[in-house]
Structure 1
Amino acid sequence: MTAVATSMGLDFGTTNSVVALADGAGGADLLRFKAPAGDSAVFRSALCFWQDDEVKGGLAHEAGPWAIAEFLDFPQGSRFLQSFKSVAANSLFEAANIFEKRLKFEELGQIFLTHLRAHAGAPLRNLPERIVVGRPVRYVGARPDPALARQRYEAMFALLGREVHYVYEPIGAAFSFATRLTKPATLLVADFGGGTSDFSLVRVQAPDATQRCLPLGSAGIGIAGDRFDYRIMDQLVLPMLGKGGSYRSFDKVLDIPDGHFADFGDWSRLALMRNRRKLEELARLHHSAVDQAAIARMIAVVEKELGYPLYEAVGQLKRALSTQDEAEFAFDSPDLSIKAQVTREDFESWIAPDLERMGATVDEALAQAGLRADEVDHVFLTGGSSLIPAVRALFVQRFGESKIDSGEELTSIAHGLALIGGEDHLQAWTADEESAA
């Protein structure tokens, strides 16, 4: 790691965050953290809170892999939040209820950044003047508000005390990939995050060009790894928690509304379900449900914070099916036990509607750039979901196997953002909120 960094790239992701520092000589290094499970460049986008009278305000907290470790040590007395980035553009989200406190998005973000810097140690004690933060082409949600997300980001990153420049995440990945190329080429970057999938077309100039990468067009959609996780939850878990069941209302038997299970589709909302209003609502549903045992299991998932281990089991299955034709989904607790064999074909059928919408968004990016698929020289797949065979097949079908490249799936964006921070004309790369809205 260079002693004096000239710029910093921060990929603040839904699931993982990564930091890179540029050296001013055309190179950039990833910042590594000495995490509980071992040295890593990936810092999980997670927070854990617990009550402690000995700390100011009575609320202690941790972030990243240390938050996960704290939660696993003391799950019943903690509040665990993951993927809180996914509410950045949601106007309905006002604050998270953490014990007796209400924390806004920017307050959660500043707590996260404080811990990230503390665990980074010396490399982030003195920040470089140029800080470049990635943002999605399209934020998560049915009606995302990019201006609100920008406002919340500005408040969050004000903690760093530097001017922050925002660049589309796939453009960062494009800059990183361009370091592999020795001649001009047209590049499509497909960035699959936890909450969004973004696609950008870039013209990469020769290595000695004044401006190495020229943006041609972008498109994004709020479908990515988290949606795939929910498809597994919907098929294997939610039926055991009452979805598809019924309840009694006077002399009628009615279907339980799917709205009761909506929060299971977004980890950040699931982690916020443990509040008095929601638990009272579930208690009423339990009283009238035909299958009261199923609703009791759902209440246990909420009250006992089983969401984290449930999603870990989901993630393990998803990763296994990226390399195997069949795998076991296994979850076991005193309140809920599930075992099921799942084939890759099953999983691909569950996510088929999402893949179709992704494909349409790729076509939208091509149309915006005024390009045909055969005019693209390289396709760079990045992000965890790029490892899913059905996702890769989407691009092989359109562009051909020979054009597909991957690697550094979790770190390429931060690396590229740091390189962009060294550009003379940085403003040429910053995301325009009006054009993104």
Structure 2
Amino acid sequence: MMQQVPRALGLDFGTTNSVVALAAQGESHLVNFAGARATGAVFRSALCFWHDEDAKGGLAHEAGPWAIAEYMDYPEDSRFLQSFKSVAASPIFESASVFEKRFRFEELGQMFLARMIAHAGGTIDARPDRIIVGRPVEYAGSRPDEALARRRYDAMFAGFGSEIYYVHEPLGAAFSYASRLDRAATILVADFGGGTSDFSIVRVEAPGAERRATPLGSTGIGIAGDRFDYRILDHLVLPMLGKGGGYRSFGKTLEIPRSYFADFADWSRLALMRNRRTMEELARLQKAADDPVAIGRMMTVIEKELGYPLYDAVGALKRALSSQETATFRFSGGGLEIEEQVSRAQFETWIAPDIKRIEAMVDAALKKANVAPDAIDRVFLTGGSSLIPAIRRIFATRFGEARLATGGELTSIAHGLALIGEEANLAQWAA
């Protein structure tokens, strides 16, 4: 274990998971969370709220795996929020309704950070001056406002450290991978997160060089793990909740509004559907629907907070199909009983439009960096979705299997961010 006093802290604040690393004297180590609920160094980016008379304002909250445990014990009496990072750049999002209170993005973020610190066993109670926070190259959302995201991040991290720097997430992964290399190389880092996929091309010099790594160009796109999850929901679950069905209005049959099903695309929107206005709208829709039972299932999924087990089942299928040709999707709850065999080929058909856009973004990164494919010495794949075979084929086809490298899919960014924090010319890395 590292004995020196940490000089920098790297935080990979992710859509699905968050990871913290500390660096000193050119070495970094991960912060492992402590307690019965802990899951090592990976801390789920989630919050759970519930009423508690002893808590300030009568509302208690937890984060990470402790939030999941609280929700699983009392799903109908709690509010569970995950992937709230995905709304950081959204001008549409103003606040989240949690019972009778409303919370802005930065308030959710500060509560999350406070609980993450509390569960770190004292290791980050006192933090280094230099805090390096990862940020996506391209934020999630249809029309992301980068300046708005920056203001929200600044408010979220106010008080977390005296020097806050934001660095593109794939550059963190690149710096982590560079520590493995003993010679100069041009590398492409492909980082597949929960909300975005980012690509950076970096020139790495041999150990001992004055500047070890130089960014050449980056691109990003708001397509990643959450989008792949939604493709599974769209084909296996949403038709049973009424998608594609109709309802009667003034003597005409109209398609059930797709906006309801779009809200199943990510946790931040699905969790917020449980409000009186939305439930009253769905109750009226149910009376006019051609298939009222299907609308009833959707209402039950929302009312009983079944989002987590639903997405958990989706994630289990996606992971299984990364290593198997076929797998079984199983979900039970809210009047839904689904057990269906799914092949990898089916899944790849569902995500084919997304794969095509990711391929175009990889090509755009090469063009932006003015680097030809054959000039790339190594391709480093990181992030959970990098394990999907269809994703790996994008890079194997362009660069050859021998040039691909993986490892530390969930932790490499935090490692690299912490190491970047020790650089003398840190401002050159900041986004």
Q: Contact 2:190/2:382 (CA < 8 Å) preserved in 1?
A: yes
**C-alpha separation in 2, matches of 1:118 and 1:374:** 48
The equivalent residue for 1:20 is: 21
- Please show how residues 74-223 of structure 1 align to structure 2 within 5 Å: 74-223=74-223
The equivalent residue for 1:410 is: 410
**C-alpha separation in 2, matches of 1:96 and 1:2:** 40
Q: Contact 1:36/1:65 (CA < 8 Å) preserved in 2?
A: no
Q: Contact 1:33/1:119 (CA < 8 Å) preserved in 2?
A: yes
Helix, strand or coil at the partner of 2:237: helix
Q: Contact 1:50/1:78 (CA < 8 Å) preserved in 2?
A: yes
Post-superposition shift, 1:324?
0.5
Give per-residue Cα distances to partners, 1:158-214, cap 9 Å, x unaligned.
Answer: 031422100000000000000110110000000000000000000001110111000
**C-alpha separation in 1, matches of 2:297 and 2:131:** 46
Partner letter of residue 228 of structure 2? F
The equivalent residue for 2:226 is: 226
Q: Contact 2:306/2:334 (CA < 8 Å) preserved in 1?
A: no
Post-superposition shift, 1:276?
1.1
The equivalent residue for 1:435 is: none
Partner letter of residue 14 of structure 1? T
**C-alpha separation in 2, matches of 1:135 and 1:334:** 37
The equivalent residue for 2:426 is: 426
Q: Contact 1:110/1:159 (CA < 8 Å) preserved in 2?
A: no
Helix, strand or coil at the partner of 1:194: coil
**C-alpha separation in 2, matches of 1:142 and 1:208:** 43
Count matched residues. 430
Post-superposition shift, 1:335?
2.2
Identity of aligned residues (%): 65
Post-superposition shift, 1:34?
2.5
- Please show how residues 231-246 of structure 1 align to structure 2 within 5 Å: 231-246=231-246
Taking only aligned residues, the RMSD between alpha carbons, in angstroms, comes to 0.9
**C-alpha separation in 1, matches of 2:27 and 2:290:** 63
**C-alpha separation in 2, matches of 1:159 and 1:335:** 46
Post-superposition shift, 1:269?
0.6
Post-superposition shift, 1:125?
1.3
Helix, strand or coil at the partner of 1:41: coil
Partner letter of residue 6 of structure 1? R
Post-superposition shift, 1:50?
0.2
**C-alpha separation in 1, matches of 2:191 and 2:410:** 10
User: Are 1:264 and 2:264 an aligned pair?
Assistant: yes
Q: Contact 2:130/2:161 (CA < 8 Å) preserved in 1?
A: no
Post-superposition shift, 1:256?
1.4
Partner letter of residue 23 of structure 2? A
Q: Contact 2:34/2:121 (CA < 8 Å) preserved in 1?
A: no
Post-superposition shift, 1:36?
3.5
**C-alpha separation in 2, matches of 1:261 and 1:350:** 17
Post-superposition shift, 1:284?
1.4
The equivalent residue for 1:282 is: 282
Q: Contact 2:348/2:390 (CA < 8 Å) preserved in 1?
A: yes
- Please show how residues 262-341 of structure 1 align to structure 2 within 5 Å: 262-341=262-341
**C-alpha separation in 2, matches of 1:224 and 1:35:** 31
Q: Contact 1:36/1:69 (CA < 8 Å) preserved in 2?
A: no
Helix, strand or coil at the partner of 2:301: helix
Helix, strand or coil at the partner of 1:137: coil
TM-score in terms of structure 1 length: 0.97
Instruction: Specify every segment of 5 or more residues in structure 1 that has no aligned partner in the other structure, as ranges.
Output: 432-437
User: Are 1:351 and 2:351 an aligned pair?
Assistant: yes
Give per-residue Cα distances to partners, 1:41-96, cap 9 Å, x unaligned.
Answer: 10000000001111111010000000001111111100000000000000000000
**C-alpha separation in 2, matches of 1:255 and 1:189:** 43
Partner letter of residue 206 of structure 1? A
Instruction: Specify every segment of 5 or more residues in structure 2 that has no aligned partner in the other structure, as ranges.
Output: none
**C-alpha separation in 1, matches of 2:320 and 2:353:** 21
The equivalent residue for 1:5 is: 6
TM-score in terms of structure 2 length: 0.98
Post-superposition shift, 1:259?
1.7
**C-alpha separation in 1, matches of 2:11 and 2:347:** 32
Helix, strand or coil at the partner of 1:5: coil
Q: Which moved more, 1:365-374 or 1:120-129?
A: 120-129
**C-alpha separation in 2, matches of 1:155 and 1:249:** 46
**C-alpha separation in 2, matches of 1:219 and 1:353:** 18
**C-alpha separation in 2, matches of 1:55 and 1:335:** 35
Q: Contact 1:35/1:66 (CA < 8 Å) preserved in 2?
A: no
**C-alpha separation in 2, matches of 1:129 and 1:78:** 36
